[in-house]
Chains A and B, each alone.
Chain A
Amino acid sequence: MLLKKRKEKHVLPTVEVNVVSLMDIITTLLFFLILIISFTNYSIVKGSALSLGRMTEEKPKPTFSLKITVRNSKSANVLIGPTSELKIVNKSSMHNYLNSYFSGSPKRGFTKNIGNRTSDAFVKRLQRILIRLKQGFPHETKAILAFADRVEYQTTVNLVANVRSLGPDAQPFTQVNLIGQRERSKVLFPEVIISEWTGK
């Protein structure tokens, strides 16, 4: 009878895992994440200057123009250029809206004065108008903001931010783009051109 070889039980060596350095990393990471969050309470609001175009002999193409003239923190005038030759989503509905709430016509353009008792209410009202305009012109991104001399910097920044997009707490709005796709967005007119209002 052959002796059976005893198979030695394969015993894995016990290994001690040293978690000290891991705990150190985690503690340090946590500490610096907290520090970094307190450093980055600064943000920016973007704007741009008017760029001069070049003279051309070609017939000027019809372009969308939106100008908001701000007199103070609670009132402004909204001016929309001629819209008759522009690409508009749901054109008849947009023209009905403009004819109902604005003065003017698609050939000459539209204008409206808006104002409220408080600056917050004024900004909300302005944004409602901008949302409606954006729904008609989802592909347009430029707006001109012209400020009167007495407007304070806080108002300037506030309006630039609110014309660019809805705030982080606001609900996105639904728009249909030129190819018929529905999308939800908070972006209004992100290319804000800052100008001066020289009127009375």
Chain B
Amino acid sequence: MPLIKQKKKSNLPEFNINITALMDILTVLLFFLVKSFTVSSSTLTPPDDIKLPTAKVQENAKEAITVSVSVNEVRFNNDIIIKLNRGRFPRTVIGEDNRTLKPLFALLDKEDKKRREIYKEQINTEFFPPGKILIQADHKLPFRLLKFILHTAAVAGYKDYQFLVVGKDS
């Protein structure tokens, strides 16, 4: 009887996966994602029909209510609230003072009331600081349209304007 060859058990070498580097990557990834989305570029991205003006300034936007204005529509935090008619506001949305946009005022006023409600216990509301509003508008927008936005925001308590621009080298 021939000898049965014994197959050698192939012992694969033990392979230890070192995940230290992977953990490092994940930690750093997390850190930078949190930092870069604090004032998120997704909230700063203007609608497609708006081409922002350019300016040589280096100041970062602070968290604020965003109002986008083009010759076609007005958006409040990315929701369309007013549609313009041939580059003019419809009469139905303009208030009695011929300066205020009623839908925009209603939304800003609601936000202002919420803000005051939150801070009324810490701050005397008589000296409440003005709210901040971030305005994204098309570079060719005439001032006759922009003034409605500015006036409405001021009347609703949002007197600190931040005009979003693109760096001139971009």
Contact = CB atoms under 8 A, between A and B. Distances in A.
Contacts of B25: 24-25, 28
A152 B162 contact: no
A47 interface: yes
Interface in B127-168: 130, 134, 137-144, 146-147, 150-151, 153-154, 159-167
B28 A157 contact: no
B135 to A, nearest CB: 9
B contacts with A: majority SS: mixed
A42 B159 contact: no
B150 A43 contact: no
Question: Could you say which interface size class chain B belongs to?
Answer: 35 or more
Contacts of A50: 154
Interface stretch (B2-10, B56-64, B73-81, B109-117): B56-64
Given A35-B36, A158-B53, A40 B60 contact: yes
Nearest to A44: B162
Nearest to B146: A153
A149 B163 contact: no
A47 B141 contact: no
Contact of B36 (A32, A42, A161): A32
B140 A36 contact: no
Given A21-B24, A150-B143, A153-B143, A43 B58 contact: yes
Contact of A41 (B36, B62, B137, B166): B166
Nearest to A156: B143
B54 A20 contact: no
A124 interface: no
A21 B170 CA distance: 35
Contact of A25 (B24, B138, B139, B162): B24
A21 B60 CA distance: 33
A74 to B, nearest CB: 15
B154 to A, nearest CB: 4
A196 B15 CA distance: 74
11 contacts: A25-B24, A35-B32, A36-B36, A40-B41, A48-B130, A149-B142, A149-B147, A152-B143, A158-B53, A167-B56, A168-B58
Interface of A: 20-21, 24-25, 28-29, 32, 35-36, 39-51, 147-154, 156-158, 160-161, 167-169, 194, 196
Given A36-B32, A44-B59, A46-B162, 9 more contacts: A21-B24, A39-B41, A44-B165, A49-B159, A148-B143, A151-B142, A153-B138, A154-B54, A157-B55
